[in-house]
A and B are shown apart, each in its own frame.
Chain A
């Protein structure tokens, strides 16, 4: 995983609430056994017209926002299916951060494991960001993970919360598996003391 520190990028507004992971990546793309082809399927129903051509009205298809790396989306982003293919699709397309008023729990957890930053802002800031993007689709925002600040045009900075452990992992590009593996002794001790409840082989 690449470390995230500070980056500035164009932001695209998708002011739709409850974007579910079936919209982010439809199930037909989940038949892969690796992570291939997911960028193509990102937001398929919105990004493409029925004939397969790009929908010129969809925000990521407009020339000004075609390279956007920050997505601003409505409340409860990533609800529904637990598919990690959703953050995989977003990151392989090039999205590095999603800004919303809230994220579904599993999507948020999956994103943090893939270097995709879920940034929670209050409703007022969200609406301000959507307006800014609509007024100037080429707008760039700066994300500073170390100080947990989002810099808006004109210099205003908005703080955002993030779990300290997740922040550490993102800043240093380390994954969580190494941390749990280091708890091996504690796991073995737990197993020695816990009742035997399940044996799928027996």
Chain B
């Protein structure tokens, strides 16, 4: 009998062009390479310098998402790009894709969107694949039982040239989430709680596999939210074993196998889950029954608390370095230890990003905003993850709900997640954000970010102060 294997082991082994040796890393085959305008140009330059072609343009897909504006279209139906640097980056991506034969989802076209939203949406993201992108949130694709991880621009060049990467095999860590979520508590709260409990470096050197009753009960979009933030826990990749939920999601999507090919693929995919008796190098646990909505108070995603809790006191922390980190974070955030965040005024609410911009996220936010007005003085930006998500939301009338409430309904893109396009949080202002990072200046210089779920964001949009979404459930 063969040795029991984890999901990660199986995907890893199936992609070994050459196994690793003590002297050399493994040569790992990459099934799907997603690219965008920000981390690809220097890699194309290197290809040109060496006179190398893109080996498999048919395994490569480009989109425009990071530096793009999300401003509503003009009277010609065009999303206007004003920033000269963004124009240059987008022009270069167009030229590079044309030169090397790479399909491109052009800004504003029907399938364009955030790279980690479009892969799954198009059926390109499938169980058992290796998927990379010059973007750390490539971990998102692990929700399908794929091995997805972020790479740097040098590695983007390696994949262009060879469709392979040099890799040392990571260690494995099971992240077991038992129990069931209570109403008002979401997948976002699971991952924020894991990171708050174990810290932002816990996953360094590991690939997470999320398992347990609570994970099995989640939809694909919820699993994507969790895998997306694996990197915030330090893990380059996070995976969920594929199951019927996965297969139903993939079925019928444009780039997914069709008909008999799909049935054959499902038969292969059913062999992927971790075998009984397989061992992990490490395990983390969380009980979903006890979970309440989570929110961050500091300047890294591990600085999170239950929304009903209080900001930690420095004297509760184990060492001087942790106390110094907390002091600096709270000084930046202008928040006080020992205080609750409930009731704290918010200036901007951002509903979007590769973490929480899918149709289910927008539906959740809309149910709280339906028939209500957002609080006076609060700017609420709702940014769908893709043009497909936007079109679906509009078919369901969600755009009308958001607009009637006083929120902005914008075009698809990374938007205010990362402060490199026009969507920014002003200095000193507080943003309740469904994105993934609350680093100093992440949403703009001096911006103060509180990370939370779309439900918490929508509840907060209505009141203008940090609000526990469970207090609004009865009024739905």
Contacts and interface: CB of A to CB of B under 8 A. Distances in A.
Contacts of A18: 200-201, 300, 325
Given A18-B200, A81-B136, A30 B152 contact: no
B23 interface: yes
Contact of A201 (B103, B234, B265, B441): B103
Contacts of A83: 38-39, 152
A35 B154 contact: no
A158 B136 CA distance: 32
B183 interface: no
A199 B255 contact: yes
A180 B154 CA distance: 13
B3 interface: no
A27 B437 contact: no
A114 B234 contact: no
B378 to A, nearest CB: 24
Given A102-B201, A106-B152, A197 B129 contact: yes
B251 interface: no
B150 interface: yes
Contacts of A197: 31, 126, 128-129, 265
Contact of A30 (B38, B328, B441): B38
Given A22-B439, A183-B17, A201-B103, A176 B236 contact: no
Given A106-B152, A187-B29, A201-B58, A28 B419 contact: yes
A132 to B, nearest CB: 17
How many A residues are at the interface, by size bracket? Answer: 35 or more
Interface stretch (A63-71, A72-80, A142-150): A72-80
Interface in B382-407: none
A128 interface: no
A17 B322 CA distance: 8
A32 B85 contact: yes
A34 interface: yes
B204 A202 contact: no
A184 B154 CA distance: 18
B136 A80 contact: yes
A96 interface: no
Interface stretch (B86-94, B218-226, B272-280): B86-94
Contacts of A33: 41-42, 45, 88-89, 92
Contacts of A191: 29, 163
B59 interface: yes
Contacts of B161: 177, 180-181
A106 B151 contact: yes
A104 B139 CA distance: 15
B25 interface: yes
Interface string B350-369: 00000000000000000000
Given A45-B445, A198-B255, A17 B325 contact: yes
Contacts of A177: 46, 50, 154, 157-158, 161-162
B162 A183 contact: yes
A1 to B, nearest CB: 10
B268 interface: yes
B164 interface: yes
B39 A187 contact: no
B59 A198 contact: yes
A45 B134 contact: no
B129 A198 contact: yes
Contacts of A181: 52, 161-162
14 contacts: A22-B418, A31-B83, A31-B420, A79-B201, A81-B136, A84-B134, A84-B154, A105-B205, A110-B152, A187-B163, A194-B14, A197-B129, A198-B129, A202-B58
